[in-house]
Chains A and B, each alone.
Chain A
Amino acid sequence: KAGVTQTPRYLIKTRGQQVTLSCSPISGHRSVSWYQQTPGQGLQFLFEYFSETQRNKGNFPGRFSGRQFSNSRSEMNVSTLELGDSALYLCASSSRLASTGELFFGEGSRLTVL
């Protein structure tokens, strides 16, 4: 069974640009969550999507947005990039049908903002 796939794995942008990251969940998983990981703040929840609906949102500015498609694939977008947006962005999928709530993480997209 294929795991969670994130693309691109690495990218470099400059301040003011925007970026779109993609996540394909494990087959059959309909819930996709996004986390930002930085050395200073650790792992912080961005948002969760289930059945194309945003179910939960973390404490991030409106520059951070996301969406989910009918095939459960998800994208997140960051507009007007700032230096502080440099981070590892992790996508996780889960099956809401399972009782454990366990998240399965992708390899991440490492964003560097110059």
Chain B
Amino acid sequence: ELKVEQNPLFLSMQEGKNYTIYCNYSTTSDRLYWYRQDPGKSLESLFVLLSNGAVKQEGRLMASLDTKARLSTLHITAAVHDLSATYFCAVDVPPGGANSKLTFGKGITLSVRP
């Protein structure tokens, strides 16, 4: 059974500092997605990573994928309050297959303090 693990589950960040959060998964896949969820809201797609070594950047967030290590990282540069939310990674298994489905991690709740 595919396991997707995110750590830490909660991260208190100081404004202006850099942080990295991690997503590990237990089976082969080269498709990984990052989503953001604000309290009481739906999931917003942040990044789609489709190959080993893929790197995507949007604003202060940069996501990368290492399929050999089965690891994705989300790097936060100079944290700001607007980044406070819960971030989920999800893995597509079998990748791109007709019967594929996304398996989500538990999510990491980020809180940015002044």
Chain A residues with CB under 8 Å of chain B are: 33, 35, 42-43, 45, 48, 55-56, 58, 90, 92, 99-108
Whether the pair A103, B107 counts as a contact (CB closer than 8 A) is no
Chain B residues with CB under 8 Å of chain A are: 31, 33, 35, 41-45, 48, 50, 88, 90, 92, 95-96, 98-107
Interface centre among A56, A103, A106 (most CB of B within 10 A): A103
Q: How far apart are the CA atoms of A13 and B42 in the complex, in Å?
A: 22
User: B101: which of A33, A100, A108 is its contact (CB, 8 Å)?
Assistant: A33
Residue of B nearest to A55 (CB): B99
Q: How far apart are the CA atoms of A101 and B29 in the complex, in Å?
A: 13
User: A56: which of B42, B48, B96, B101 is its contact (CB, 8 Å)?
Assistant: B101
User: A103: which of B33, B41, B106 is its contact (CB, 8 Å)?
Assistant: B33
Q: Which residues of chain B are within 8 angstroms of A42 by Cβ–Cβ distance?
A: 104-107
Least CB distance, B7 to chain A, in whole angstroms: 14
Residue of A nearest to B35 (CB): A105
Interface centre among B88, B101, B106, B107 (most CB of A within 10 A): B101
Least CB distance, A25 to chain B, in whole angstroms: 14
User: B48: which of A45, A100, A105, A106 is its contact (CB, 8 Å)?
Assistant: A100
Q: How far apart are the CA atoms of A101 and B44 in the complex, in Å?
A: 15
Q: How far apart are the CA atoms of A105 and B45 in the complex, in Å?
A: 8
Q: Which residues of chain B are within 8 angstroms of A101 by Cβ–Cβ distance?
A: 31, 33, 48, 92, 95-96, 100
Whether the pair A107, B42 counts as a contact (CB closer than 8 A) is yes
Q: Which residues of chain A are within 8 angstroms of B106 by Cβ–Cβ distance?
A: 42
Whether the pair B45, A45 counts as a contact (CB closer than 8 A) is no
